[in-house]
C-alpha cells in the first residue's frame, strides 16, 4: 500500500499547522487529487481533509458591494445560486460548462483554482515532466502537443491551466483570500497562478500550509451583468476541457465601450487576462472592427509551442465572438448548452 | 456462483407493434435484464467474491521496441502483502493455443509476459498481493530496464513501407485500369481512418480459480466456448475442465471475443499460488492490452460517364497490424458490392507497426470500407452535378456485383426512399455552403451501409417444467443486445406460454454450446436453435397429452392439440382444457426436455466442437444461390460553426433493412447505438500515438473522446426490412453492426455540403475546417 496519514482538522489553524509539514496535500472535493493519487502522479504522505471545516462553505455579500465565496462552496451550488448567476452571469456560465454534473456537485471553489494541468505527459509517469520531477525535462515539447499553450509557455513547460471558472474570475479582478502561518493575505487571481519560466513545478503563490479560504469579487464585478459572456470551444459538446475559451464583459453606452474585461482560457499555464486588448477596447466604438483589433492585441504575443498554431487563430475568433456576444447582451436565461457556440440550436438539451 | 435467471415478469412491457403481442417474436418487449442492471442486482464477472481471493496487477512496457534487459522485482517482492511477482522467468510455461480459426498452433511454449518488446504497453510482469492496493503499490516498485531498438509507431512512419500484400483480399473483374483511363469523369482520392478503441464501460478483467485440474474463469466474454478452448489448450487440460462464466457483459463491441494474455497471466497466477486471482485492467491498460480498430488508408478511384454511371472502381487499401500478429481489416468489403460496375479491382496490404495486434471493433472491414466508397461516390456526385441520392440509385447493384448472385433480400432502394421522405431530402439545396443559420453553415449528407449476414451454429435446451414454466439454456451471451429477451420471446411463442413463465439462462460454458457473438450473427443463430428446441419440446408435450393413458386428452383420440397461454386444449375446443402443469402432473412427469441446434444433419461430435470453439466453419454469406446482407441508408444534417470549425450533428434519419426484427424495440436501440458510435468515429475518436515511444497519449476516457448525450440529437430509425428466410431460420438478418456502417461518410458528406471542404481523414476535428 502507498501509506499516507489522514488528518481531519477541526479548525483552520489546525489545518494550516498540519499541512505545513512537507508532503502534505489538502483534500476538499477530491475530484482531481484522488485521480492523481490513483495514477501515481502524486503521492502525498499526508492528506489534510478540510471538507468538513465549518466556515468555508458560505457565499457572503460584503458591505462594500463585493462578494466573498467560501473555498468549499461547491461549483454546482455557486452556479445555481440565483443571485450569483444574475450578478455574475459569465461566471455561472463558465462553471456550468465545466466537467460533468457529478463532478460539479463535488468540486469546490478553492479546488478549482488548484486543479492541475491535463497535459498527458504530466499524467504519464513514464514520461519526463518538469512539473512532476523538477529538472526531468518536458516530454510535451516535441511530443503530442496539439492542445498545449500558445501564450506564456517556456521550454521547461508548455502545459495549460484547465479551469473554466478562473477565466471570468480573472477578468473580473477576483482576489484570492489565503490563510497561512503568517495570517491572512489577499492575492489577486491574476497574480495567483504563475507562468512556468524555469520553475514549472511552482504553479501558484501558495506557500506550504497556505489554505485558500475564499475568493472575493469586487463590487465593480457586478457592473458587467448586462453584457457578459463566457464562450468555450471544445471537441465535444459536454464534459471536455476547453481548447480555447474566452470571457468577455462590456459596459457600452451610446455605442462606445466604457469598460471592458477580457480573459482567455486554455491558452496558457494560467487564466490569461488580455489587458492590452482591454485598453484598446476602452473608449472605442463597439463594433466588429474594434473587436478584431482587440483580438489581434490579445494574441499579439502568442506563438505555437508545437503542433498547435491553429489555437492562435481559433483564440482570435473566439475573442471576437465573445465580445460580439457580450455586446448583444447577456441572455435572459442561461443557454441550454452553457458557453457553447451551438447553444442557439432549437431543441438543444440542457443535459451537458 | 449463481447463474442469473432472468424472468420476463420483472420487466416492464414495451409497446406492441403491428398488433404483435409484446412478448411474442417481433413484439416490443423491454429488456428482461434491465431491472437487474439498473438496480445493481446484476453481478458482473469480476464482482465474484471468493474465499481467499487475491489480486494481480500488470506491469507494462514503456518502450515500443526492444528487449527486456532485467526486471528488478526485489523491492516489489519485499512490499507488504505481496505473494508473488510474475516475470517471464518465474511464470509457469503454457502451450501455444490455436488461433480462432482453429489453425493447429506451433508446438512451442507460450509466455503471456514478454521478453521481446514489440509495442508500448506490453505486459512484462505482474504482481500478486493480498489486496488490490498492495498489488498496485508493489507494481510501481518493479523496475524494468530495456535495450531499446528503433520502432515504427504507425502507418505514417517513413520506415513503415508498403507492407505485405494479402492476396485473399484481392477482388477483380473486368479491366478496371483500362476502363478508368478511358472514363470521361475520373475521381481519385485517399481516405484515412485512425486507430479507434472499443472503450466498453466495463474494462477487461477476470477472476480465475483452480480446483485440481479444473479451471473456472469468471470473465466478460463474447464467446464462452472459444475462450474456454483457448484456456484449455494453454494449460493442456481437457476442454471440459474449463468453465467460463459470463452472465453479463458491460459492452464488448468486438473486444471480448478472445482469451487474451492478461487472462493467461491471471490463470497462471491462480495455479501457481493455489488461490483464486482477480485481475482487472486499468482504463489506460485497455488501450494496449488488446487491439482496437486498426488504422487504415484507402485510395478509391472511380471512372464514370458524364451521367454518373460508374465504369470502373480501383481500390487499394492498407491497414496496420502488429509486429508479430496478423489482423486484416477487409477494406474492399463494401467497395466491391455497393454499386454496379463492369470493371473492378481491389487489393490490400497490411503494414507491421509496433502496436498491439488490432482487433475486431463494430463492423470491422465494412466500417472503414464504407468511409472510402461512400465518400468517393459523393465526390463523384458533385463532379458530375448529380444529387448524391440520385447517383446512388443510378448505380444501384441489382445483384451482388462480386459474387454475381441474386441478393437474398436488398431493401436498400426502399431505405433510400423512406429515409429521404422522412428527412425531407427533396428540399435540399444542392450547392455547398448554400444553407446557413447565423454563424452556422448547414449541410445535408447521405451515405449507405451494409453488413453481411454471417451465419454460424448454436444449440439450446428448452425444458418445460412441472409448474408449467419454461427454461432455456445456452452458452451464448447477452452483452446488452437483448439475447435474454428475444430468446424468452422465441420460447414463449413457440411453446405457447406467457413470456413471464420463461426463464433464460445464458453465459455459462456448461450450457449447450454457441459460437462467437460477433458479426451480428447471434440472434439469427440462437432464435433458430431455441425455436427448434422449443418446437421439439412442444411436440413431446402434445405427444404425451395425446398418447399417455393417464392424460385427460387420451380418450379424445385427437391428432393434435393446441398449446396457448400455458394451457392445452383441442383445436376445436370440444375437450378438456388444462394447464401444462396439470397435464405433466397427470402423466407423472416432472419435466420435458429437448435440445435443438442449427447444425447440419449428421454432424459429428468433432464438427460440433469445431463449430462452437472456432470460426473455421462459419457459413459464407454467399453460399448457394444468394448473397445475404443487411442494408441501410443514413441521412444526416450537420451544423458547422464557420469561425470555429466545430461540427454538430443536428439531425439523423436512418432507414435500415435487417430483415425481420425479433424485437423492434431492441433492434432500434442497437441501431441507435451504432449511429452514436459512428458520430464518435466521425467527429471525435482517434488514438493519438507519441512518435518517440509509441505510447497512446490519450489512453483514458477524459482524453479519448466518445460522444456525450449533449452531442447526440434525436435519432429517427425506420425499419424497411422484410423476412429473409435465406438468412436465418426465422427471417432476421444482422442488426448490431449495420448501423455504424456509413455514418462517418454521411457526416463527412454533410460537412462538405455545409462548408465546401472535403475531409478525408477521420476524425473531422475543428482545425481541419478553419
Least confident residue range of A102-111, A333-342, B404-413, B749-758: A333-342
| B389 and B538 housed in the same domain | no
Q: What pLDDT is stored for residue A62 in this prediction?
A: 97
CA torsion A140→A143→A148→A152, rounded to 10°? 60
A314–chain B nearest CA distance, Å:
6
Q: Is residue B131 part of a domain?
A: yes
Q: Does B121 touch chain A (CB under 8 A)?
A: no
CB contact under 8 A, B697 and A349: no
Q: Would you say residue A347 has pLDDT above 80?
A: no
The cell for A281 is 477596447
Q: Does B195 touch chain A (CB under 8 A)?
A: no
Interface probe for A, chosen from B641, B697, B765 (most Cβ of A below 10 Å), is: B697
The cell for A271 is 487564466
| B677 and B726 housed in the same domain | yes
The answer to whether residue B642 is catalytic is no
Last residue of a domain, one of B613, B636, B669: B613
Assign A352 a pLDDT band (cuts: 50, 70, 90): very low
CB contact under 8 A, B643 and A2: no
CB contact under 8 A, B697 and A126: no
* Chain A from 261 to 300: CB within 8 A of any B CB: none
Least confident residue range of B1-5, B375-379, B492-496: B1-5
**Set of chain A residues whose Cβ sits within 8 Å of the Cβ of B690:** 139, 143-144
Length of chain B: 770
Assign A335 a pLDDT band (cuts: 50, 70, 90): confident
Rounded to whole angstroms, how far apart are CA atoms B631 and B621? 14
| B606 and B627 housed in the same domain | no
CB contact under 8 A, B710 and A240: no
Residues B355, B154: contact at Cβ < 8 Å? yes
Per DSSP, the residues of A124-188 read: -TTS--TTTSTTS--SSTTSS-TTS-SSS-BTTB------STHHHHHHTT-EEEEEETTEEEEEE
The cell for B725 is 428466410
| B468 and B564 housed in the same domain | yes
Supply the range of the domain harboring residue B522: 6-43+455-613
Q: Is residue B184 part of a domain?
A: no
Last residue of a domain, one of B247, B266, B287: B287
| B207 and B235 housed in the same domain | yes
Q: What pLDDT is stored for residue A344 in this prediction?
A: 62
**Set of chain A residues whose Cβ sits within 8 Å of the Cβ of B689:** 144
CB contact under 8 A, B648 and A318: no
Q: What pLDDT is stored for residue B8 in this prediction?
A: 45
Q: Is residue B155 part of a domain?
A: no
Q: Would you say residue B390 has pLDDT above 90?
A: yes
Q: Is residue B188 part of a domain?
A: no
* Chain A from 312 to 331: CB within 8 A of any B CB: 313-314, 317-318, 320-321
Q: Would you say residue B241 has pLDDT above 80?
A: yes
Rounded to whole angstroms, how far apart are CA atoms B356 and A349? 39
**Set of chain A residues whose Cβ sits within 8 Å of the Cβ of B136:** 2
CB contact under 8 A, B133 and A127: no
Element (H, E) at B69: strand B66-72
If one counts every other C-beta atom within 10 angstroms of the C-beta of residue B107, the result is 7
CATH number at residue B626: 3.30.365.10
A259–chain B nearest CA distance, Å:
26
Residues A109, A28: contact at Cβ < 8 Å? no
B133–chain A nearest CA distance, Å:
5
Q: Does B274 touch chain A (CB under 8 A)?
A: no
B538–chain A nearest CA distance, Å:
50
Q: Is residue B248 part of a domain?
A: yes
A48–chain B nearest CA distance, Å:
21
Task: Using a pLDDT cut of 70, give the percent of chain A over it.
Answer: 97
| B724 and B647 housed in the same domain | yes
Query: Sign of dihedral through CA atoms B537, B541, B542, B546?
Result: positive
Q: Does B283 touch chain A (CB under 8 A)?
A: no
| B463 and B522 housed in the same domain | yes
Residues B467, B584: contact at Cβ < 8 Å? no
Q: Would you say residue A272 has pLDDT above 50?
A: yes
Q: What pLDDT is stored for residue A345 in this prediction?
A: 56
Query: What is the pLDDT of chain B when averaged over all its residues?
Result: 95
Last residue of a domain, one of B244, B262, B287: B287
Least confident residue range of A215-219, B287-291, B602-606: B602-606
Partners of B388 in the β-ladder: none
CB contact under 8 A, B702 and A40: no
**Set of chain B residues whose Cβ sits within 8 Å of the Cβ of A321:** 439, 643-644
Write down the H helix ranges in B652-734: 664-683
* Chain B from 427 to 456: CB within 8 A of any A CB: 438-440
Q: Are strands B567-569 and B562-564 parallel, antiparallel or unpaired?
A: antiparallel
User: CA triplet B76, B55, B700: central angle to 5 degrees?
Assistant: 90
Select the residue of B136, B705, B767 nearest A240 (Cβ to Cβ).
Answer: B705
Global pTM exceeds 0.80: yes
Kindly identify which residue of chain B lies nearest to residue A143, measuring between CA atoms: B690
Rounded to whole angstroms, how far apart are CA atoms A314 and B641? 12
For B370-501, strand residue ranges (E) read 406-407, 436-437, 440-452, 459-465, 470-473
Task: Using a pLDDT cut of 70, give the percent of chain B over it.
Answer: 97
Kindly identify which residue of chain A lies nearest to residue B700, measuring between CA atoms: A120
Q: Does A34 touch chain B (CB under 8 A)?
A: no
Rounded to whole angstroms, how far apart are CA atoms B173 and B54? 59
Q: What pLDDT is stored for residue B575 in this prediction?
A: 86
Q: What residue ranges define each of the domains in chain A, with the CATH number in brackets?
A: 5-52 (3.30.43.10), 54-114+161-221 (3.30.465.10), 224-328 (3.30.390.50)
Kindly identify which residue of chain B lies nearest to residue A313, measuring between CA atoms: B770
Q: What pLDDT is stored for residue B318 in this prediction?
A: 98
Q: What pLDDT is stored for residue B20 in this prediction?
A: 62
Query: For A151-172, what is the mean pLDDT?
Result: 98
Residues B400, B628: contact at Cβ < 8 Å? no
| B233 and B127 housed in the same domain | yes
Q: Is residue B525 part of a domain?
A: yes
Which ipTM was obtained for this model? 0.96
Rounded to whole angstroms, how far apart are CA atoms B175 and B376? 20
Q: Is residue B603 part of a domain?
A: yes
If one counts every other C-beta atom within 10 angstroms of the C-beta of residue A148, the result is 29
Q: What is the pLDDT of residues A132-156, one digit of tens each?
A: 999 999 999 999 999 999 999 999 9
| B463 and B449 housed in the same domain | no
Rounded to whole angstroms, how far apart are CA atoms A11 and A211? 12
Interface probe for B, chosen from A120, A313, A338, A339 (most Cβ of B below 10 Å), is: A120
| B206 and B106 housed in the same domain | yes
Q: Does A246 touch chain B (CB under 8 A)?
A: no
CB contact under 8 A, A118 and B690: no
CB contact under 8 A, B702 and A118: yes
Q: What is the pLDDT of residues B244-264, one digit of tens each?
A: 999 999 999 999 999 999 999
Partners of B304 in the β-ladder: B185, B310
Count of domains for chain B: 3
**CB burial readout B474-496, b (16+ within 10 A) else e:** bbbbbbbbbbbbbbbbbbbbbbb
Query: For B503-531, what is the mean pLDDT?
Result: 95
**Set of chain B residues whose Cβ sits within 8 Å of the Cβ of A97:** none
Query: What is the pLDDT of chain A when averaged over all its residues?
Result: 95
Q: What pLDDT is stored for residue B18 in this prediction?
A: 46
Element (H, E) at B56: strand B54-60
Q: Is residue B605 part of a domain?
A: yes
Q: What is the pLDDT of residues B635-665, one digit of tens each?
A: 999 999 999 999 999 999 999 999 999 999 9
| B332 and B470 housed in the same domain | no
| B637 and B675 housed in the same domain | yes
Amino acid at each position: 500500500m502507498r501509506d499516507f496519514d489522514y488528518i481531519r482538522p477541526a479548525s483552520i489553524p489546525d489545518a494550516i499547522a498540519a499541512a505545513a509539514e512537507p508532503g502534505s496535500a489538502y483534500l476538499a472535493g477530491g475530484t482531481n487529487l484522488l485521480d492523481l493519487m490513483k495514477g501515481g502522479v502524486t503521492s502525498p504522505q499526508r492528506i489534510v481533509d478540510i471538507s468538513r471545516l465549518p466556515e468555508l462553505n458560505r457565499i457572503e455579500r460584503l458591505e462594500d458591494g463585493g462578494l466573498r465565496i467560501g473555498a468549499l462552496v461547491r461549483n454546482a451550488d455557486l452556479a445555481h445560486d440565483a443571485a450569483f448567476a444574475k450578478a455574475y452571469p459569465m461566471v455561472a456560465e463558465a462553471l456550468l460548462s465545466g466537467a460533468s454534473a457529478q463532478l460539479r456537485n463535488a468540486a469546490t471553489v478553492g479546488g478549482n483554482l488548484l486543479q492541475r494541468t491535463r497535459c498527458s505527459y504530466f499524467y504519464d509517469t513514464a514520461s519526463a515532466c518538469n512539473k512532476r520531477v523538477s529538472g526531468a525535462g518536458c516530454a510535451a515539447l516535441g511530443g503530442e502537443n496539439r492542445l498545449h499553450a500558445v501564450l506564456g509557455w517556456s521550454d521547461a513547460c508548455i502545459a495549460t491551466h484547465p479551469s473554466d471558472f478562473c477565466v471570468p474570475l480573472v477578468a473580473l479582478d477576483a482576489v484570492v483570500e489565503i490563510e497561512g502561518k503568517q495570517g491572512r493575505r489577499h492575492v489577486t487571481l491574476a497574480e495567483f497562478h504563475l507562468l512556468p519560466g524555469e520553475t514549472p513545478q511552482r504553479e501558484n503563490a501558495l506557500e506550504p500550509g497556505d489554505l485558500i479560504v475564499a475568493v472575493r469579487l469586487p463590487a465593480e464585478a457586478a457592473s458587467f451583468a448586462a453584457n457578459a459572456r463566457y464562450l468555450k470551444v471544445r471537441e465535444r459538446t459536454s464534459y471536455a476541457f476547453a481548447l480555447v475559451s474566452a470571457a468577455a464583459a462590456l459596459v457600452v453606452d451610446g455605442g462606445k465601450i466604457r469598460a471592458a474585461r477580457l480573459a482567455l482560457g486554455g491558452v496558457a499555464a494560467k487564466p490569461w487576462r488580455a489587458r492590452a486588448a482591454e485598453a484598446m477596447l476602452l473608449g472605442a466604438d463597439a463594433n466588429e472592427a474594434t473587436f478584431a483589433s482587440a483580438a489581434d492585441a490579445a494574441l499579439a504575443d502568442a506563438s505555437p509551442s508545437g503542433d498547435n498554431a491553429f489555437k492562435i487563430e481559433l483564440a482570435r475568433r473566439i475573442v471576437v465572438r465573445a465580445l460580439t456576444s457580450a455586446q448583444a447582451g447577456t441572455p435572459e436565461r442561461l443557454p441550454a448548452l452553457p458557453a457553447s457556440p451551438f447553444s442557439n440550436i432549437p431543441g438543444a438539451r440542457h443535459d451537458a | 456462483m449463481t447463474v442469473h435467471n432472468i424472468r420476463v415478469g420483472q420487466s416492464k412491457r414495451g409497446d406492441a407493434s403491428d398488433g404483435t403481442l409484446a412478448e411474442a417474436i417481433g413484439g416490443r418487449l423491454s429488456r428482461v435484464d434491465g431491472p437487474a442492471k439498473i438496480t445493481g442486482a446484476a453481478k458482473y464477472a469480476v464482482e465474484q467474491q471468493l474465499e481467499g481471493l487475491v489480486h494481480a496487477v500488470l506491469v507494462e512496457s514503456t518502450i515500443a521496441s526492444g528487449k527486456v534487459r532485467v526486471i528488478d522485482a526485489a523491492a516489489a517482492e519485499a512490499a507488504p502483502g505481496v505473494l508473488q511477482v510474475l516475470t517471464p522467468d518465474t511464470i509457469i510455461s503454457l502451450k501455444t493455443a490455436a488461433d480462432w480459426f482453429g489453425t493447429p498452433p506451433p508446438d512451442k511454449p507460450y509466455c503471456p509476459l514478454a521478453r521481446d518488446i514489440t509495442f508500448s504497453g506490453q505486459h512484462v510482469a505482474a504482481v500478486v498481493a493480498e489486496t488490490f492496493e498492495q498489488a498496485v503499490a508493489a507494481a510501481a516498485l518493479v523496475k524494468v530496464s530495456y535495450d531499446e531498438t528503433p520502432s515504427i509507431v504507425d502507418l505514417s512512419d517513413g520506415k513503415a513501407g508498403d507492407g505485405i500484400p494479402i492476396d485473399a483480399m484481392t477482388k477483380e473483374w473486368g479491366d478496371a485500369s483500362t476502363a478508368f483511363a478511358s472514363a470521361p469523369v475520373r475521381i481519385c482520392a485517399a481516405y484515412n481512418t485512425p486507430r479507434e478503441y472499443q472503450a466498453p464501460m466495463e474494462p477487461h478483467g477476470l477472476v480465475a480459480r483452480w480446483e485440481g485440474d479444473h479451471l473456472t474463469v469468471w470473465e466478460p466474454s463474447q464467446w464462452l466456448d472459444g475462450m474456454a478452448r483457448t484456456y484449455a489448450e494453454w494449460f493442456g487440460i481437457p476442454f471440459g475442465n474449463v468453465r467460463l462464466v459470463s452472465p453479463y457483459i458491460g459492452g464488448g463491441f468486438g473486444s471480448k471475443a478472445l482469451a487474451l494474455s492478461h487472462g493467461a497471466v491471471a490463470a497462471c497466477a491462480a495455479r501457481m499460488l493455489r488461490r483464486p486471482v482477480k485481475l482487472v485492467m486499468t482504463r489506460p491498460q485497455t488501450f494496449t492490452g488488446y487491439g482496437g480498430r486498426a488504422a487504415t488508408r484507402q485510395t478509391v478511384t472511380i471512372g464514370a460517364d458524364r451521367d454518373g454511371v460508374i465504369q470502373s472502381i480501383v481500390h487499394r487499401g492498407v491497414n496496420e497490424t502488429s509486429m508479430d500478429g496478423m489482423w486484416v481489416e477487409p477494406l474492399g468489403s463494401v467497395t466491391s458490392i455497393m454499386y454496379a460496375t463492369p470493371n473492378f479491382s481491389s487489393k490490400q496490404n497490411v503494414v507491421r507497426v509496433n502496436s498491439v495486434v488490432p482487433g475486431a471493433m463494430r463492423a470491422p472491414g465494412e466500417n472503414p470500407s464504407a468511409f472510402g466508397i461512400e465518400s468517393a461516390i459523393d465526390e463523384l456526385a458533385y463532379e458530375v452535378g448529380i444529387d448524391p441520392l440520385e447517383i446512388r440509385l443510378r448505380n444501384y447493384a441489382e445483384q451482388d456485383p462480386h459474387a454475381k448472385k441474386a441478393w437474398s433480400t436488398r431493401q436498400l432502394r426502399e431505405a433510400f426512399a423512406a429515409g429521404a421522405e422522412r428527412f425531407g431530402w427533396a428540399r435540399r439545396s444542392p450547392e455547398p455552403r448554400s444553407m446557413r443559420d447565423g454563424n452556422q453553415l448547414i449541410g445535408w449528407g447521405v451515405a449507405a451501409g451494409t453488413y453481411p449476414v454471417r451465419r454460424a451454429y448454436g444449440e439450446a435446451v428448452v425444458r418445460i417444467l412441472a409448474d408449467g414454466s419454461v427454461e432455456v439454456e445456452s452458452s451464448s451471451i447477452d452483452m446488452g443486445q437483448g439475447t435474454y429477451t428475444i430468446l424468452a420471446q422465441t420460447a414463449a411463442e413457440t411453446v405457447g406460454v406467457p413470456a413471464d413463465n420463461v426463464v433464460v439462462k445464458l453465459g455459462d460454458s456448461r450450457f449447450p454450446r454457441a459460437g462467437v457473438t460477433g458479426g451480428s450473427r447471434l440472434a439469427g443463430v440462437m432464435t433458430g436453435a431455441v425455436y427448434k428446441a422449443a418446437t421439439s419440446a412442444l411436440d413431446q408435450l402434445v405427444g404425451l397429452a395425446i398418447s399417455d393413458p393417464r392424460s385427460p386428452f387420451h380418450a379424445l383420440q385427437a391428432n393434435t392439440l393446441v398449446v396457448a397461454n400455458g394451457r392445452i386444449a383441442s383445436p376445436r375446443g370440444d375437450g378438456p382444457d388444462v394447464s401444462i402443469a396439470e397435464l405433466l402432473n397427470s402423466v407423472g412427469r416432472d419435466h420435458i426436455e429437448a435440445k435443438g441446434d442449427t447444425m447440419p444433419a449428421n454432424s459429428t461430435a468433432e464438427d460440433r466442437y469445431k463449430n462452437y470453439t472456432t470460426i473455421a466453419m462459419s457459413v459464407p454469406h454467399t453460399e448457394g444461390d444468394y448473397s445475404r446482407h443487411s442494408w441501410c441508408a443514413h441521412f444526416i444534417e450537420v451544423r458547422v460553426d464557420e469561425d470555429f470549425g466545430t461540427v454538430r450533428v443536428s439531425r439523423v434519419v436512418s432507414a435500415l433493412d435487417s430483415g425481420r426484427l425479433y424485437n423492434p424495440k431492441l433492434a432500434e436501440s442497437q441501431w441507435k447505438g451504432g449511429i452514436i458510435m459512428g458520430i464518435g468515429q466521425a467527429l471525435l475518436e482517434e488514438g493519438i500515438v507519441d512518435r518517440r515511444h509509441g505510447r497512446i497519449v490519450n489512453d483514458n476516457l477524459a482524453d479519448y473522446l466518445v460522444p456525450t448525450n449533449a452531442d447526440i440529437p434525436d435519432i429517427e430509425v425506420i425499419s424497411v426490412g422484410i423476412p429473409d428466410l435465406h438468412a436465418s431460420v426465422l427471417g432476421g438478418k444482422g442488426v448490431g453492426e449495420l448501423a455504424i456502417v456509413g455514418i462517418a461518410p454521411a457526416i463527412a458528406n454533410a460537412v462538405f455540403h455545409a462548408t465546401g471542404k472535403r475531409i478525408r481523414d477521420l476524425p473531422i476535428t475543428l482545425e481541419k475546417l478553419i
